[in-house]
Amino acid sequence: MSVPDKFGKIDMWKKIGLTWHCQTGGPNPMTQLPPRKPTVLIRGTRWIFLISGIFYGATRLSFLTKREKPITELHETLEAFAHERRKAYRREFDDQEMLALYYDVIGVDKADDPTQKKH
C-alpha cells in the first residue's frame, strides 16, 4: 500500500498540471487571463516603428548603392581584364598542347619540325 499524498487519489498527470508553472501550486496567470486588445498607444507605436524602419532601409539602400558604384565599376574592369588574359593563356596553351599531341601521335621529331625556329 502506498503512502497517501496531499492530493488524495488524484491522477499523476493532474498533479503535474496543478504545479507545472511554479512550486506553489496556484493558478497560472498566463493561461487564466483572457487576451486583451493592445492599446491605441501601443498600436500607434508599432506603426511608427514599422514606417520608420521602412524609411531607414530605403535611405540606407540608396546610400550604399551610391557608395558601391565605383567599386562595382572597378570590379567589372578587372574581371574583363582577367577574362582576356585567361583567353590569351588558353590560346597559347592549347597551341602548345596540340603541337605536343601532334608530335606524340605522328612521331615527328621536334628537330625536323618546320614550324620551330632554328638557331
Kindly report, residue by residue over 19-39, the tens digit of the pLDDT. 555 555 555 666 676 667 889
Q: Is residue 76 part of a domain?
A: yes
Sign of CA dihedral 29, 31, 33, 38: positive
Structural domain boundaries enclosing 96: 35-108
50 lies in some domain: yes
Please give the tally of structural domains in the chain: 1
Residue 82 has pLDDT above 90, yes or no: yes
Q: Beta strands of the chain (E only): which ranges? A: none
Identify whether 58 is part of a domain. yes
Which of 78 and 97 is assigned the larger pLDDT? 78
The verdict on residue 46 lying in a domain is: yes
Report if residue 30 sits inside a domain.
Answer: no
- Single pTM value for the model: 0.41
The rounded distance, in Å, linking the Cα atoms of 13 and 15 is 5
pLDDT (average), residues 56-74: 95
**Considering the domain boundaries, does residue 24 fall inside one?**
no
> Rounded CA gap, 34 and 47, in Å?
25
Residue 96 resides in a domain: yes
Q: Does residue 16 form part of some domain?
A: no
